[in-house]
Structure 1
Amino acid sequence: MKATNMPHRSPTSSLSLAPPSRACGIDDVRAALLQSEMRYRILLDDFPVAVYCCDANGKLTLFNDAAVQLWGRSPKIGMDSWCGAHRMFTIDGHPLPLDRCPMALTLLEQQDIDVAEAIVERPDGSRRNVLAHPRLLAGPNGEALGAINIVIDITERKRLEEQLKDADRRKDEFLAMLAHELRNPLAPVRSAVEVLKAGRSSDVQISQAVRVIDRQATYLTSIVDDLLDVARIRHQRVTLNKTSVELAEVLAGAIDVVAPEVAMRGLRLTVEQPTHPVLLHCDRTRLDQMIGNLLNNAAKYNRAKGAIFLCVTVEGKDLVVTVRDTGIGIKKAILDQVFDLFTQGQNGSTQQNGGLGIGLSVVKAMAEMHGGSISADSDGEGCGSEFCLRLPIVTTDAQLRLVVPVVDVDRPQTIMIVDDNPDAADAMKMLLEIYGHQITLAGDADEALLAARSAMPDVFLIDIGLPGMDGNALASELRALPSGRRPRMIAVTGFGQPEDRQRSLAAGFDDHLIKPVCLTPLLKSLVPSTGPNASG
């Protein structure tokens, strides 16, 4: 079919072709038609979506370059019918005969179709999702001359939609699992608290209750730390604080963390490590986290009475940490996905084994920040798993040798705790009084300033998120007070981003501790010679 003029809408919403004027000569009409067809052809070829026409019998009469690219073939004018596609399918994947395609239905039923979605298969087997917009073409007397179809390729849009659906599904699964993981440790904590409240517990029962609370609090802290690390990694806000550390100390700390889980599951942990001292230059906290996450992963997905093998070797400048378990294993098909964020469970068994699906992704990110790598291997389900962490952090530089400051953490001091949470302040007060310190409490900045003007303490422990004047502003005000000595100021807060630490130190704090604060770093931070700790 040759287009005689640009189509326009008729009152019946179909497209009609205007007839030439009777005043025109035949040569003028032919010239006008030729010029119109050329403009129409140029317009169609420049159009970014597929456009084609069929006559009243369904034979193809016109198509543009975009249609050829969509179909993957160039159909024959006057021979191919209804559509230039090799094959078509419904959106459910069922075969769609060409004589039932949107263009065919429009012509056969003489009725426009608003929008129809289908799948086009090319001769090479590749498929494209499309939206078809067929419209009837009417002659000057309303007779059907054929139809035009504008076909939009929505394959990329469908792919993005599926990605969004998958991300939404994984988010919902993650939130459900997060609620599960937070409730799990809270249940034994609540039971242990009830044991202590009963007042009839034996010393053994009290000791057991305390161990339960300590263990579950440590686990809750690790969950929060992993969640914060995920946010920092995604926004590229993680910075490494590299220092010189001894390998043996790192391994001892990581093993201590996983020991309760190993004991509870009845697992056997075998450790092989160098017999000679090995000095590392790395972020101690992050190395602890990497090894700890691998060991926790091995414990979590192990079978009852199973085994974990931790092998640490030195290859030149590389520290090689291999963690192997006798657990549920990993399907070969998902080996490459175990380090993806929110991939929960090694074989979809998160409901049984727990976990948020973020531990291994954190290990991968931290390893790469150290210039290293992490790999996973498994012979399949039921065959256990092996993770190999390789980090170029071994050093023999004498200048990097670890220096452990000797501090007097037992010297009693006067300490003011500034916190608007009475439970948090009272608990910290009880803890520090056990170690002989004299404690005063202040619920806000005004109360703290008033007390400091009367008697300046040796140390301030200040929550940043105070009502009214916040902790940073309070620290600046306290520094401006006239005093014969400079008190030590420690921020104790839940704000743990690098910029939070920078703001607190700029405000006059000497240290920045992240809640919940462990006892050892807290006691060390009280002593001026320890310097900034910035730990939790």
Structure 2
Amino acid sequence: MRAKLVVMALATTFVALVTMSISMLVYDLTTFQQNWVDDLTTQAEIVATVSAPAVSFNDPVAARQNLALLRVRPQIQQGAIYGANGAIFAAYAQAVGEQPVFPVRPGRPGYTIEGGRMVVFHPIVENGERVGTVYLSARYRLLDRVASYAIILGGVMLGSLLLAGIVAGSLQLSITRPLQAVTDVARDVMQKRDFSLRVRRAASGEIGTLVDAFNDMLAEIGRRANALQDANRTLEREMAVRQNAEQALLLADRRKDEFLATLAHELRNPLAPIRTGLDIMRLNGGDPAATERARGVMERQLKQMVRLVDDLLDVSRINTGKLTIRREPVELRAVVSNALEIARPFIDAQGHALAVELPAQPVYVLGDATRLAQVLSNLLNNAARYTPRGGHIRLDAQLDADGRLRIRVADDGIGIAPQMLGEIFEMFVQADASLERSNAGLGVGLSLARRLVELHDGTIEASSDGPGKGSAFVVTLPVLQTAGDSVARTLPPAGQGKPHRILLVDDNVDFVNAIGALLRTLGHTVQVCHDGQQALAAGTAFTPETAPDFAFLDIGLPGLNGYDLARALRRMSALAHTVMVAVTGWGQQKDRDLAFEAGFEEHLVKPVSVEQILAILAGHREGVAVADRG
């Protein structure tokens, strides 16, 4: 009975969900296609109507001007007007610089769907005579809509079935136990003919109703009515909670979509100059000045991409409670200097004027200098991003009478609407969501800044007089009365030192070969492998005299992943003293834990620079652990 109850609940829920999902999907796709057909046909009819005089009087300039109005409809990729003789009279393409391909002759009036595009041919009629044809081609993302709809419906179905399974599993015990008691008492009554036996009441609700009816039918009638009222009130409360949760999910889903679109845009922006820099270095290899400029551009753009990824990883670590900070006396000027070093290139690129005013006396706070500099650099970058070119940014700090430090970052930019002040620190929320903004951002900088400030027992507040009137962010932190004694901990310089034997394993051939060549120029002996099996075979050939001092292993290797490879190499006696370093694109705490469990001693997150590798070599050579395992 227990299994049947669970299966019945799941089967009923599944059938209802499948029926609803199919119905909604069919209806949505039908409506979607019909709306596209009506919209594109209407657009073609408008173009035909306004272009009829131009075709009749052989005025291709006017016809092209009419087609150019289609730029307000970015979904329409291209269009053309054909004359009565079937030749192209005027043409239009949405993307400037493209060489679109138009049909040689106009097709039959109507629409067709081909290769993800919807094509419409509409006749041009003047005084009852057909004088030409309008051709429009638009993107028709039916599969994208089906995929999105299917993902949503699949998630809803999976969540509903999971909830139904949990509820059914918990309810079946409350149903089967009283029924078993009723069955046992009924069997005893039949065998012993002892009608004084009673079922002890051990349940409430409908099952309690059944037990009470078995013992005393009349008393159960009143209890049944009370139980029903309680159930109705509970259902009303649950409905209110579900409606609130649904609204929150819809808002979160919309913000997620906006964030993904912005993330794609922000990651593509640095890729374009990096690609151009590579082309410059390839075509102007003999021009050292051009190569150096290209390299500088590529380094700046790469740092921008790394900063975006680091911000996302930091938010993830904070949300999962994995991010920790080092607490030590930190001087305010050092924090501000580090923040300015990070943010000034972007501020200067925007042509802003930056003013900084700090207290004359040294001010110390207890915290993590790197994270506090990250907070201020995020605020400065945010001010520069949302201030029109040539604006003014000010950073000042002062001590309050209550012994707290107030750091204020203000600008004269686009400002913040009053209704946004309460939401500006939420994930993926941005003050300016228009397409015309030149620097979008991901909407995570302020959220990350707030959480880092809270880890330092501080607060952060935003203020603005409204749109177009600038904004200000104030960070408040507790101040140390004295700097105290701090221990200066520094790493030894990452110099070349004595040469090492190094094993590099990575399936990214360009990356690993380039790093290997660079290390060889520094005097190290380097062996490169491109997959796990090749590295394992190389490991068996090592002796204690030829074994590598360091092994940098990629985790996502074909054939044999980095974790299993590290375990296999650890079992080889010749590699007992080899330092294993994990190199991977996964940087969460669980990934670090897995690496250390597999035998790695260090964990580097891609992209990895040669300076990081040299720091590993220098740190271990002096017995200093350079990886933060916290």
Range class of TM-score, shorter chain: 0.5 to 0.7
The alignment covers a number of residue pairs equal to 402
Aligned counterpart, 2:579: 488
> Which structure carries more helix by proportion?
2
Which of 222, 225, 229 aligns to 1:43? It is 225
Amino acid at match of 1:252: S
Structure 2 CA distance for partners of 1:44 and 1:161, relative to 1, 3 Å = same
Percentage identity across paired residues of the two chains: 37
Number of the residue aligned with 1:423: 510
Residue in 1 aligned with 2:588? 497
| Deviation for aligned residue 1:383 | 1.4
CA shift, 1:403, in A, is 2.7
Alpha-carbon spacing, 1:226–1:484, altered in 2? closer, same or farther (3 Å)? closer
Aligned partner of 1:212 in structure 2 is: 297
The more displaced of 443-452 and 292-301 is: 443-452
Q: Could you say which residue in structure 2 is the equivalent of 1:176?
A: 261
Q: Deviations over 1:190-242 (max 9, x none)?
A: 11111111135632321221111111111111111222223333333323344
- Post-superposition CA distance 1:161-194 (Å, at most 9, x none): 3222222222211111111111111111111111
Residue of structure 2 in register with 1:513 after alignment: 604
Counterpart selection for 2:356 from 264, 271, 276? 271
Matched-pair contact (CA < 8 Å) for 2:506–2:529: yes
Aligned to 1:534: 628
Map 1:359-438; keep pairs closer than 5 Å: 359-392=445-478, 394=480, 396=482, 398-414=484-500, 415-433=502-520, 435-438=522-525
Which range is displaced more, 259-268 or 492-501?
Answer: 492-501
Offset at 1:374? 1.0
Tell me how far apart the structure 2 counterparts of residues 425 and 334 of structure 1 sit (CA, whole Å).
Answer: 47
2:505 is matched by which residue type in structure 1? V
From 394, 413, 426, the equivalent of 1:327 is 413
Matched position secondary structure for 1:354: coil
Q: Secondary structure at the match of 1:309?
A: strand
CA distance in 1, matches of 2:328, 2:541: 39
Q: 1:41 to 1:282 in 2, by over 3 A?
A: closer
Q: Which moved more, 1:368-377 or 1:464-473?
A: 464-473
- Matched letter for residue 340 of structure 1: E
Give the Cα–Cα distance (whole angstroms) in 2 for the partners of residues 479 and 365 of structure 1: 40
Asked if the contact 2:548–2:575 (Cα under 8 Å) also holds between the matched residues in 1, the reply is: no
Q: Deviations over 1:379-420 (max 9, x none)?
A: 111111111122336474644232324335232532221212
TM-score by length of 2: 0.57
After TM superposition, give the deviation of residue 524 of structure 1 in Å: 1.9
Structure 1: gaps spanning 5 or more residues: 1-34, 51-65, 70-129, 131-150
Q: Aligned letter for 2:592? A: R
Quote the offset at 1:323 in angstroms: 1.3
Pick aligned residue for 2:337 from 235, 241, 252: 252
Matched residue type, 1:514? V
- Paired residue for 1:442, among 529, 537, 542? 529
5+ residue gaps in structure 2? 1-216
The AA in structure 2 aligned to 1:532 is V
Displacement of 1:312: 3.7
Secondary structure at 1:339 match in 2: coil
338 and 183 in structure 1: CA distance in 2 versus 1, 3 angstrom threshold:
same
Question: CA distance change for structure 1 residues 432 and 272 in 2, over 3 Å: closer, same or farther?
Answer: farther
Task: Assess, with a 3 A threshold, how the Cα gap between structure 1 residues 247 and 493 changes in structure 2: closer, same or farther.
Answer: farther
Contact persistence 2:570–2:576 (CA under 8 A): no
CA distance in 2, matches of 1:531, 1:43: 71
Call closer, same or farther: CA 1:493–1:410 in 2, change over 3 Å: same
| Matched residue, 2:212 | none
Change (3 A) 1:43 1:185: same
Q: For 2:381 and 2:480, how far apart are their aligned partners in 1?
A: 24
Give how far 1:152 is off.
10
Q: What displacement does 1:159 show?
A: 3.2
> What is the root-mean-square deviation of aligned Cα atoms in Å?
3.5
* TM-score in terms of structure 1 length: 0.66
**2:280 and 2:291 in contact (8 A); partners too:** yes
Once the 2 structures are TM-superposed, how far is the Cα of residue 525 of structure 1 from its aligned partner? 1.9
* 2:192 equivalent in structure 1: none
Structure 1 window deviating more from structure 2 (360-369 vs 387-396): it is: 387-396
Contact kept in structure 2, 1:246 and 1:402, CA below 8 Å: no
Q: In 2, Cα distance between the equivalents of 1:214 and 1:179?
A: 20
Q: Give the 3 Å change call, closer, same or farther, for CA 294–418 of structure 1 in structure 2.
A: same
Match of 2:77 in 1: none
Question: Which residue in 2 is equivalent to 1:463?
Answer: 554
For residues 393 and 470 of structure 1, the distance between their equivalents in structure 2, rounded to whole angstroms, comes to: 48
Measure the CA separation in 2 of the matches of 1:455 and 1:393.
Answer: 55
Q: Residues 506-531 of structure 1: CA distance to partner in whole angstroms, max 9, x if unpaired?
A: 44433222111244443222112331
> Match of 1:283?
368
Match of 2:125 in 1: none
Residues 356, 411 of structure 1: CA spacing in aligned structure 2 closer, same or farther, 3 A cutoff? same
> Is the CA contact 2:494–2:614 (under 8 Å) kept in the aligned structure 1?
no
